[in-house]
Amino acid sequence: MTADEFGDPAGHELQLTVDGEVRQRANTRDLIMDVPALIEFASSYYTLEPGDILFTGTPEGVGPITPGNTIAASISGIGRMTVAVRAA
């Protein structure tokens, strides 16, 4: 997805579930640092490449996960990423 396809980064819903249970729900308009500031901050420490994902902050809902859980993160207008939790 290109920036022109995504549009204004403010106002997109963020959601994280663990095994289908909503653990976190927020909106980019409520971030302490807006998306351009987050990109500027991150890129001051390392090179960002197309497709990189920035996970930041700790909204309400943080809790333990265990092997066997499935985590799904989504951003409205972009899509969803699912990760299976496995033991080391």
Q: Which CATH number belongs to the domain containing residue 33 in this structure?
A: 3.90.850.10
- Position 69 pLDDT exceeds 90: yes
In the sheet that holds 79-84, the strands lie side by side as 21-27, 13-18, 70-75, 79-84
pLDDT digits (tens, 9 = 90+) for 16-36: 999 999 999 989 898 888 889
pLDDT at 84: 98
Predicted model pTM: 0.75
The amino acid present at 2, given as its one-letter code, is T
Domain count for the chain, please give it.
1
Terminal-to-terminal C-alpha distance of the chain:
33
pLDDT digits (tens, 9 = 90+) for 2-17: 778 888 888 899 999 9
Residue 54 and residue 38 in contact, taking contact as beta carbons nearer than 8 Å: yes
Region 34-40: mean pLDDT is: 91
| Domain enclosing residue 55, as ranges | 3-84
